[in-house]
Amino acid sequence: MNGHHEAMRELDAAGAFSGAPWVREAMQAVPREAFAPNVIWRDDGDVYTRVDRRTDPAGWSAVVGGRGPVVTQVDDGTDAERGEVATSSISDRLAVVNFLTALDVHQGQRVWEVGTGSGWTAALLAHRVGPSGRVATVEIDRALTDAARTRLAPWAAAVEVIAGDGEDGAPPTRVDGPWDRVHVTAAVTRHVPHAWIEHAAPGAVLVLPFSPPFGSGSLLRLVVGEHGVASGRFVKSVAFMPLRGQRSHGHDVFEEIRTAHPDHDSTAVDWHLAGLSADGNYSQALALRLPDVHRATSAGGAKWWLHDGKDSWALVDDTPGAGHALQGGPRRLWDEVATVIAWQDDAEVHAYDFGVTVEPDAQWAWAGSPEERWRT
């Protein structure tokens, strides 16, 4: 548990708990280590490697006591020694502090959680809501659900673990009445499921990771208003794995789209792409203005590959003096990007002044205030 104590000391020293001392109490009472399974996956850069506590206790402790997330499943579950894609993890502690602080949970509240994973955050929530509150947590993966239910047995009076797709909303549970808080721990890449809002009380708070395909993942905090509308701003920058039903096309389809639509034109580029890649305000503007455009970048961010998942693509390179964009398909994706960059040059909207409004039949993004909005 040395890792736990050191990590808590670091969080304290950084003032991480100043907005919500209850999160500190909950983390002291329910350490992350207690929810880590025997088999976890070490991030070795381009591959995840299996680490078993029973055969490599030091390797296991190094990951679990470390600062990053603990990957608990790869490739939707495998017995192999290596895996490619992390599909469940126990989040890094600071991300959890940020989420729970934004969620602002109180004793006696009813909380709906999407993405049970190991069960750690459900236990933290149960600790907070106390005996008069309720937590229902849903996990899409059957094996993870069963393991989390066992780990959460000591909290069984307060926590209900449900196997299912959290995007469908709240299935019948032991909880009577609407949710006061909704805690989502797998990322929305495009549309916030309205079911989360339908089952929430007016004034309820939802926090969720929002990871559009352009990049720039952030924590979104929505407050439920009247007539099934929820609205709010981005709060922090975070990286989370997507909801299973919202996994979007990755970079791998770029060549397929380019091969199917080879005709292209070339445009001169005089923007500094690496600078734009590193600027959170521009990234947020691009991600929200172009919600269906996927971007991959080279290591320094000076080369971009764009596609729309269907039939349009652009390959952009900012080599000094010779920068150019090749664009193919019915849309001119680089031209669309350049229009957004020019808009942000004038508007200068800070990343955390962008927001989202979710209505029963539409979703909007906005800059500055909900009146300045566009449909996404």
Ligand X SMILES: C[S@@+](CC[C@H](N)C(=O)[O-])C[C@H]1O[C@@H](n2cnc3c(N)ncnc32)[C@H](O)[C@@H]1O
User: Which SS3 state, helix, strand or coil, does residue 129 take?
Assistant: helix
Q: Which stretch binds ligand X (CB under 6 A): 7-15, 59-67, 112-120, 260-268?
A: 112-120
Query: Tokens 């209505």 label which residue?
Result: 359
Complex with ligand X: residue 120 or 282, whichever CB lies closer:
120
End-to-end CA distance of the chain: 45
- Token look-up 């890649």 returns 277
Site membership for ligand X, residue 186 (CB under 6 A): yes
Q: Candidates 144, 206, 285, 358: give the one binding ligand X (CB under 6 A).
A: 144
Q: CA-CA distance, 352 to 230, in Å (whole number)? A: 17
Known active-site residue 91: yes
User: In the complex, what is the shortest distance from the CB of residue 147 to ligand X, in angstroms, rounded to a whole number?
Assistant: 10
Residue 43 binding ligand X, by CB under 6 A: no
Q: How far is the CB of 29 from ligand X (least distance, A)?
A: 15
121, 216, 277, 297: which one contacts ligand X (CB under 6 A)? 121
Give the x/- contact pattern for ligand X in 328-367, rule: CB under 6 A.
----------------------------------------
Identify residues 152-181 at the interface with ligand X (CB under 6 A): 165-167
Q: Which of 244, 248, 237, 34 is nearest to 122 (CA)?
A: 34
**105, 140, 205, 351: which one binds ligand X (CB under 6 A):** 140
The stretch among 135-143, 216-224, 333-341, 365-373 that binds ligand X (CB under 6 A) is 135-143
Site residue total, ligand X (CB under 6 A): 25
Task: Choose which of 23, 65, 74, 88 interacts with ligand X (CB under 6 A).
Answer: 88
- Per residue in 168-182, is it b (16+ CB within 10 Å) or e — as a string? ebbeebebeeebbbb
Q: Which residue type does 172 have?
A: P
Q: What is the DSSP string of 166-192?
A: GGG---S-S--S-EEEEEE-SBBSS--
Edge to edge, what strands does the sheet with 230-237 contain? 159-163, 134-139, 110-114, 179-184, 200-210, 218-224, 230-237, 354-359, 362-367, 373-375
Among 33, 92, 139, 336, binds ligand X (CB under 6 A): 139
Interactions with ligand X, residue window 220-249 (CB under 6 A):
240-241, 243-245
Q: Which residues contact 249 (CB under 8 A, 6 or more apart)?
A: 213, 294, 307, 309
Which residues contact residue 63 at a Cβ distance below 8 angstroms, ignoring those fewer than 6 apart?
40, 42, 51, 70
Which of 88, 91, 231, 312 is labelled catalytic? Answer: 91
Shortest reach from residue 129's CB to ligand X, in Å: 16
Interface contacts to ligand X, rule CB under 6 A: 88-91, 114-115, 117-118, 120-121, 138-141, 144, 165-167, 185-186, 240-241, 243-245
Catalytically active residues are: 91
